[in-house]
Structure 1
Amino acid sequence: MGLLIHAVTRLRERPESRKYWVVAFSGSVMIALSALVLVNARWLQNEWLYSLENTLDYLFVYLFATFLVFLGLAGSSRVISPSLEKAFIVILGTGLTAEETISLMLKYRLDKAIQFYENQKAKNVQPATFLVTGGKSPGNSLSEAEVMAAYLTDRGIPEDQIIQENQSINTHQNFLYSQRLLGNGENTVFVTSSYHVLRGNVYARQLGIEAEGIGAKSPLYYLPYALIREYLALFLIYRKVHFVALPLFLALMHVLMH
């Protein structure tokens, strides 16, 4: 139900989004299957439906196991420390508040980037140029990049060391529209939330950008939803792999358990 409610809410803002249509469909199917299992246990007691229930159990095992793998990979971003020898610090956007101010999530990312910059100066390394990314949301008068740049200058970052990319509306576009400045990204570090570094790496590699990711902390209240969303997003990105692996896993479980 949480997936369905979230998808419907976002589809009102972005009805063209295939991702949220998939999420809405997935949530609806999960609700329907759960209802069917309960109805069968209470009234129908159909053997074919009991077999379907077993399949759903095995599907849950597969999803849970792959989710644990995702958690391990996502958590590793908090302990990885890229080299300070970087020419660019790319800060990925995550949206502004309704008042067009920095959200707590975005503040954590900006502060993490500033910390990397200060570490460069402390180690007598040539300070990097900041590249802030993010366009205007519907109804906003300011782009996310503009608000991010203002936050950085308020904290002492020189204006001539900040570049704005103010066209993108998602992570893939953050990298796509920044690529003309980054080239292959070998001297680049990107900053995002820790749970998001893994997907950021995927998009960067798809575009041939060899940037390293740094994970900033996230508000605890937001983390459960964020982790599930990231897992689903990566599941869809690697859907061809799961299309092969999942049927094989289900077949193996049926053989082993019967």
Structure 2
Amino acid sequence: MTSLILAALLAGLYAWLRRKDRRMLRNGVVLVAAIWFAVGGVTEVIARWFPPFDYVWLAVLALAPLAVLVLAGFLIANGITMLRSEGRRLGNLLTLLLGVAILGLPVLALLLVFSANPLAIGLAFLLFFLCSYLGVVFVVFLAYAIAYGRMEHDISPAAITILGSRLIGGKVPPLLASRLDKAVDLYRAAPEPKPLLIPSGGQGADEIRPEGEGMAEYLVGAGIPAADVAPESRARTTRENLGFSRQVQQEAGRPGAQLVVTNNYHVLRAALLARKYDVDAQVVGSPTARYYVPSAFLREFVAILGEHRVLNAVMCLPFLGVTVLLVLAALANS
């Protein structure tokens, strides 16, 4: 029962934090903890009333290595699909590299342990600790990204900003069209006065014109009045998208809250950045091709790790400290 009580308390805390500000990653930590204790508590109750249920958990544990192999195979296959569909860029290699790492790191760790070298064994333990930490952080990120993406916005926006992505031949590709179509739907569903649509994106090195310009053309072609479309054509990052779009909104004399539209895999990071830079905005997501989602989520995860690198480094210090102590103890006994 203790686990269920903790789950209920954490669920209440999650509801309060989410109501206070849904754009916080710590909400995801509390959510995952609540789910963990809830599953543990329910399992404990079922096992008490139906003892053979314990064997189900043993079966799950026995199948864990197979699940890891299946996951690695899926990631490698997805990486190959990404290379074929999206080209040979580093961002498109992430699922392939992760799949190979999932297969290769356990082998490397065993080789280090069997070497009987204290330093090598210490490195194996450090790899285990770091991989475990990254795994837990990724689960938190993924769980809250999904939860945030399913939340309904609760504002009547004065402006809707559409985050840009790469144009192909100066035209809007399907990924970006999904964002723009979502913005059109939101615009049409909004009450009068209609919100200002701000397509935001500068011109990349491989583009023949700014993304904001191409996006604005798409919106007008979809039937949005030109007077309600104000393109922003300087931004090169999500942070700049948010900042420059706010300037466009202010210059247009349309004060009030924003909705930011991006693809579903990008909603959480965009929301975190909006909160960090004090932009009064909620973020909504549009659909993404299924084959693209795993790699896209990994890119977002890597970006969030980079944006919180100091915190992550501090969180990993205890693992490093334990590893050093284990190596020193092993050297002392050798």
TM bucket by the smaller chain?
Answer: 0.7 to 0.9
Give me the whole-angstrom Cα distance separating, in 2, the residues matched to 1:185 and 1:244. Answer: 40
- Of 297, 300, 316, 1:230 maps to 300
For residues 73-125 of structure 1, the C-alpha deviation after alignment (integer angstroms, 9 at most, x for no partner) is 1112332111351110000011112x2211221111111111111211xxx44
TM-score, normalisation: structure 1: 0.78
* Structure 1: runs of 5+ lacking an equivalent: 12-22
Aligned-residue Cα RMSD (Å) equals: 3.5
Q: What secondary structure sits across from 1:126 in the alignment? A: coil
For residues 201-238 of structure 1, the C-alpha deviation after alignment (integer angstroms, 9 at most, x for no partner) is 22222322111100112111111111111001001111
Q: Residues 38 and 83 of structure 1: is their aligned pair in 2 closer, same or farther, counting only changes over 3 Å?
A: closer
Q: Which has the higher helix share?
A: 2
The answer (yes or no) to whether the contact 2:109–2:127 under 8 Å persists in 1 is: no
Give, in angstroms, the shift of residue 53 of structure 1: 0.9
Residue matched to 1:136: 203
State yes or no: 1:242 paired with 2:312: yes
Stretch of structure 1 that moved more, 142-151 or 45-54:
45-54
Give, in angstroms, the shift of residue 56 of structure 1: 0.5
Q: Which has the larger radius of gyration?
A: 2
Q: What secondary structure sits across from 1:221 in the alignment? A: helix
TM-score, normalisation: structure 2: 0.61
1:147-226 correspondence runs (5 A): 147-182=214-249, 186-226=256-296
* Structure 2: runs of 5+ lacking an equivalent: 1-75, 330-334
Alignment: residue pair count: 234
The answer (yes or no) to whether the contact 1:62–1:249 under 8 Å persists in 2 is: no
The answer (yes or no) to whether the contact 2:202–2:212 under 8 Å persists in 1 is: yes
For residues 120-163 of structure 1, the C-alpha deviation after alignment (integer angstroms, 9 at most, x for no partner) is 1xxx4421110000111224332111111111111110111000
Give me the whole-angstrom Cα distance separating, in 2, the residues matched to 1:202 and 1:84. Answer: 18
Q: Residues 49 and 36 of structure 1: is their aligned pair in 2 closer, same or farther, counting only changes over 3 Å?
A: farther
Q: What secondary structure sits across from 1:163 in the alignment? A: coil
Residue matched to 2:179: 109
1:3-82 correspondence runs (5 A): 9=89, 34=105, 37=108, 40=111, 44-82=115-153
Give me the whole-angstrom Cα distance separating, in 1, the residues matched to 2:147 and 2:110. Answer: 42
Give me the whole-angstrom Cα distance separating, in 2, the residues matched to 1:226 and 1:42. Answer: 34
Give me the whole-angstrom Cα distance separating, in 2, the residues matched to 1:164 and 1:52. Answer: 52
Give me the whole-angstrom Cα distance separating, in 2, the residues matched to 1:166 and 1:88. Answer: 16
Residue matched to 2:189: 119
The answer (yes or no) to whether the contact 1:59–1:250 under 8 Å persists in 2 is: no
Residue matched to 1:16: none
Q: Residues 204 and 41 of structure 1: is their aligned pair in 2 closer, same or farther, counting only changes over 3 Å?
A: closer
For residues 164-209 of structure 1, the C-alpha deviation after alignment (integer angstroms, 9 at most, x for no partner) is 1001112111112223234597421100112211211222223221
